[in-house]
Amino acid sequence: MRNFRLLPIAFAFLCVLGTADARPGGGSSIGSRGSHTWSAPPRTSITPGWARPMDQSATPRPSPNYGAPGYASPARPMPSYGAPAYRPSYPVRHPFLSGFAGGFLGAGLFGLLSGHGMMGGMTGGTSFFGFLFQVLIIGGLIAFVLRMFGNRRQNQMSGSPMGMPSSAGAAPPFGNNGGSTPVTLTNDDYTSFQRLLLDIQAAWSAQNMRALSNMATPEMTGYFNAQLSDLASRGARNIVSNVQFQRGDLSEAWREGNLTYATVAMRYSMTDVTTDSMGNVIDGSSTEPVTVTELWTFVRADGRGNWILSAIQQAG
């Protein structure tokens, strides 16, 4: 009986764990910022620390050190840049030659130890001198082959100083300079950002997916839909009200092709409460406001359309 009495408490505790930071975005870093998605937004006066990297994004994560000197890819082999580089051992570089020589010497030594001479052709007191003579011949052949391969490799590297490859055809760096151009925003743009902040919070509280889809990219709309569906599956609902915009600061604005992006640090207060199907509060407070600082990224097509939300990142 005692276990059954604890079930409502356990259910409420699980709801609280699942609905903390239940505002739009769920307190996570989600969305895309074009080629800047995996780059840290520049710091602002209200976000002096680094923003948290994306937890979810439709933009593929770049390979580690992509475009950096020394990064190796199938289309871009690792250069030496004049620094000592790893050089595989001779058997690894020339497996056929080393195997042939090793087998040749091995057969001779086996013959000597078995009493048949180095190659079975010398016996008695002359076997030792025959062994030395054949070792010298084999050593000379190996040295000649090594010198030939060394000269060939040196000729291949002589096209540039210190073996440094030409920059032509090198992979472009991935980051803030990946084909983007800084742009200047107007006061109307900042007014649009502030209005979107308020309207998205209202549409979220009303669970109005149609309105959210008109103010956010399909990617962000998908995240919102998944979060609201998760709340509904547990009989919970999150309501954000009394949203008060306090301060905003531009982090960066840039253009990529026909798209313009703007990442803005915004600080705002609100009442954030989550209730169950009976209206009982299971998380947050309807009377005590909380203050949140986030970086919102907006995007629009140049010459047409309005700004829409493309990413939310948590500050610090």
pLDDT given at position 37: 98
For residues 39 and 192, give the distance between their C-alpha atoms in angstroms, rounded to a whole number.
Answer: 25
pLDDT given at position 140: 67
Q: What is the mean pLDDT of residues 11-34?
A: 70
Distance of CA 173 to the CA centre of its chain: 14
pLDDT in tens, 45-62: 999 998 999 999 999 998
Domain boundaries, the chain: 2-59+175-314, 90-161
pLDDT given at position 316: 77
For residues 234 and 54, give the distance between their C-alpha atoms in angstroms, rounded to a whole number.
Answer: 26
pLDDT given at position 141: 63
Burial pattern 163-192, b for ≥16 Cβ within 10 A else e, equals bebeeeeeeeebbeebebeeeeeeeebeeb
HSE (side-chain half, CA atoms, 13 Å) at 71: 15
How far lies 37's CA from each of 41, 111, 164, 225, 306, in Å? 9, 68, 32, 22, 21
Please report which confidence band the pLDDT of residue 44 belongs to, taking 50, 70 and 90 as the band edges: very high
pLDDT given at position 142: 67
Structure tokens at 6: 């604890």
Amino acid at 7: L
Please report which confidence band the pLDDT of residue 188 belongs to, taking 50, 70 and 90 as the band edges: very high
pLDDT given at position 291: 96
How far lies 1's CA from each of 7, 52, 285, in Å? 10, 46, 32
pLDDT in tens, 93-116: 444 344 444 444 444 444 444 444
| Mean pLDDT for the chain overall | 73
Judged by average pLDDT, the poorest of 147-156, 161-170, 189-198, 227-236 is 161-170
Q: Identify which of 154-158, 170-174, 274-278 has the greatest average pLDDT.
A: 274-278
Q: What is the CATH number of domain 2-59+175-314?
A: 3.10.450.240
Report whether 30 contacts 57 (CB < 8 A). yes
What does pTM read for this prediction?
Answer: 0.61
HSE (side-chain half, CA atoms, 13 Å) at 224: 28
Please report which confidence band the pLDDT of residue 155 belongs to, taking 50, 70 and 90 as the band edges: very low
